Amino acid sequence: MTYQAKIIAGGKIVIPADRRRQIGFAEGNMLVVERVGETILVKSRSQVLREIQVGLKQAIKRPFTVDEFVAGCRAEAERE
């Protein structure tokens, strides 16, 4: 989907109200602007946090307990 925005005085970007509502942007929201090559991505801070959470869930194969963590640390210390 393609949207148009306008750059006005002071470098402000105006996104039409109907488009802001469609993508869930509201006045006062913090946005993250990311450059990927020649492309600019604009995401809400909450969207970025959700993406990080999904990535972390995928990175952690299974939950572990404190006891397992301590046992791993002790095993590593013994190897050294």
Tell me the per-residue pLDDT of 3-56, one tens digit each, with 9 for 90 and over.
788 999 999 999 889 988 988 898 899 999 999 999 999 998 989 999 999 988
Which residues on adjacent β-strands are paired with residue 41?
34
Residue type, 71: A
Instruction: Band the pLDDT of 80: cuts 50, 70, 90.
Output: confident
Is pTM, for the whole model, over 0.75? no
Where are the domains positioned within the chain?
A: 6-79
DSSP H helical ranges for the chain: 17-23, 45-59, 66-79
